[in-house]
Structure 1
C-alpha cells in the first residue's frame, strides 16, 4: 500500500471513479454500471463532505479504491451516515479495503460531530450480499447485519391497462407538481426505517437529475380535495442499458400517505408507471424494498408482479 497515493475525492474524479466502479462490476455482478455523469452526481451530493469524509487510493492515474461518507440532512435520536466504497478487483486482498473502512468510520465521527453531535452516531454500509469478502471485512471492523432489502424485478412482456381507484386521478411529473412529489415522499417516508426528509437540494441531486424519467413518474390525487396522496419516481441509467442491452425503469421512490394506505394507491401508481414504461420501450421495471417494511410493501409489489432477484444487507456499527 505504500506505493499508492491517497487523497480525498474531488468532482474532477468523475471519470476515474466511473472506471473503478465499472471494473468492480465485472467481478461483483450487482447490476451497477456508471457514466462519468452518474458519478459526478454522487461527488457533488450536497450531503457528502469530500474534503473531510472521502478518501481514494491511486496507482498512478488509476483509482484502485475509494470511500466516501454521506451524512443526513437532519437527525433526531440517531444519525445514520452511509459509508460507501470499493476496491478494484486487481487490488483486493491487500489491506486496502480495511484501510478505507477504518478511514470511513473515523471520517463519519468527524462529520457527525460537526452536523448532529447531540444524536447517536451509527455508520451504515448497504451492499448486495453476493459481493465476495465484504461480509468478512465489515464484520472484522465490528459491523453487524441489522436489516435486509430485496431488489425486485418485473418483466414488461405483457400487461393489462392501469386501473385507478374510484375517487383518485393520476398525473405525470411536471415542474408545476414537483414540490407535491417531494412533499408526499417526505410525509410517506416518515415511518420508514432509517429515512429522513429530503430537502430540495438533495431531491434535485438524487431524484430529478439526468437519470430521472418524468414520463414514467406519477402523482396520485384525491379528486374531491385535490390533495396529493401518493407518488412514484422512476430513474433510468444509460450505462446499465449499454452494458446489458436491457432498458430498466427503476421505481426509485414509491410512497403513500399513511391515511390513504390499503386503498389501492400504490398499486394504481405502479400500474400507471408499468404501462407508461411499456409504451416507451422499456424491457423491465425494478425496485428495492425493505424486507421488514411496516406497510407490507413487499406483498404489494409481489401482487403487482414483481419477483425478488437480489438481496442487500444493511450492516451497522454503533460508534
Structure 2
C-alpha cells in the first residue's frame, strides 16, 4: 500500500487509540508461575544471551545469536527496554523467559509492533509462554495507541518453520498466518555468470559516505513492497552487528555530475551460524533497485558481484531470504541464478 492509499484507508478507520483497545493497566504474568517478573536492562545482557543460547541449542534453528546481536535489544531510543521488555527470573536470579516489543518510529502506511521472546526449554508447557505473549500483546496495543498515527496497524511475530509449539501459542492468541518467507542458497562451486551493465551504470563497493543515499534509495525501492516502511537514519543503522562491507555493493549511475544510487546489496557475515548450517555462506541481507533503473539487470549484477566476493573469501554458498509473494518477481530471479529453497518462516499477525 502506498502512503497516499494508506492515508485514504486510514481516514476511513476509527482512531487507532480506540482500535488498538489498549489495557489501561498492564498486569504482570501471574505469580503462581513461580517467577519474579521485571524489565530487562543492559545489565542483564549476559543472562539474556545465555537464555537465548539455551533456547537455540534445544530448538536447533539454522542460526545462532551472538552476544553482540543480543545487545541490540538495548540500543535505540525507540526500543525503551525499561517499558518494552519483560524477564522471568527464578529464585536463584536465573533468567528463564523473556519478551520484547518494539514499534519502529518511521512507519507511515501501517504502524507495526514486533514481538520477540522465548522460554527456557525446561519451563515450557506450563503457561509461561502464553502469559508472556499476553503481556507482549497488551504492551503492543498500548504502544500502537500512543503512536498518534491513525493508520492501519499490525502486531506481528515471526515463527520459524517447524516450531509447531510456538505457532500453536500465537494462534491461540488470535494471531493469523499472514506472510511466508523462504531462505535460499546458491552453491558457489558452480560458475558465477559475468554480468555487464550498460554505461553509465557501474558496480562499486559499498561506502560509508554513500550509506545515507542508500537508505533513501531503499525507502524508494521498497515503497511498493508489502509490509515495508521507511527507514529512519536510526533504524537503518540498527542491527548491523554482522554487517560485511567487503561483501556489499552498489550500482551507481554516473550520467550526471551527481552520482545516483540505482541499486544496492548489503551483506552479513554470520559465522556463528555456520556450524548449525553445516556450511559457510555469505548472506545477502538487503537487495533493492530503484524503479527508474529496473529492467536493466541491476539486481543480477549486484547478486553476481556478491557471489564472486563470497567465493573469493572461501564461502561455500550464497544465501538470502525472500518474501514468497514479493511483487518484484525476485523469487524467479533467484531461481534463475541457481538459488534453491532451504527453509522458511511465517509472519503471524493481528491486524487492527
**Which TM-score applies when normalising by structure 1?**
0.93
Gaps of 5+ in 1: none
Please give the alpha-carbon distance, in whole angstroms, between the structure 2 residues aligned to 1:240 and 1:45: 25
The question of whether the paired residues in 2 share the 8 Å contact of 1:143 and 1:317 is answered with yes
1:239 and 2:272 equivalent?
yes
The alpha-carbon deviation at position 245 of structure 1 amounts to 6.0
Which residue matches 1:286?
319
The alpha-carbon deviation at position 248 of structure 1 amounts to 2.3
Please give the alpha-carbon distance, in whole angstroms, between the structure 2 residues aligned to 1:101 and 1:270: 38
Root-mean-square deviation over aligned CA pairs: 1.8
Please give the alpha-carbon distance, in whole angstroms, between the structure 2 residues aligned to 1:122 and 1:110: 12
3-state SS in 1 of match to 2:217: helix
The question of whether the paired residues in 2 share the 8 Å contact of 1:82 and 1:123 is answered with yes
Gaps of 5+ in 2: 1-31
1:94 and 2:126 equivalent?
yes
The alpha-carbon deviation at position 4 of structure 1 amounts to 1.2
Which residue matches 2:95?
63
1:154 pairs, out of 186, 191, 194, with: 186
1:203 and 2:236 equivalent?
yes
Which residue matches 1:269?
302
3-state SS in 1 of match to 2:274: helix
The question of whether the paired residues in 2 share the 8 Å contact of 1:161 and 1:275 is answered with no
1:10 pairs, out of 28, 41, 44, with: 41
1:219 and 2:250 equivalent?
yes
1:183 and 2:221 equivalent?
no
Please give the alpha-carbon distance, in whole angstroms, between the structure 1 residues aligned to 2:148 and 2:187: 43
Which residue matches 1:105?
137
The question of whether the paired residues in 2 share the 8 Å contact of 1:146 and 1:316 is answered with yes
3-state SS in 1 of match to 2:208: coil
Which residue matches 1:194?
227
The alpha-carbon deviation at position 78 of structure 1 amounts to 2.4
Please give the alpha-carbon distance, in whole angstroms, between the structure 2 residues aligned to 1:32 and 1:245: 11
**Which TM-score applies when normalising by structure 2?**
0.85
Please give the alpha-carbon distance, in whole angstroms, between the structure 2 residues aligned to 1:163 and 1:279: 17
Instruction: Summarize deviations over 1:259-283 as a string: whole Å, max 9, x none.
Output: 2222211111000001011112222
Q: How many corresponding residue pairs? A: 317
The alpha-carbon deviation at position 153 of structure 1 amounts to 1.3
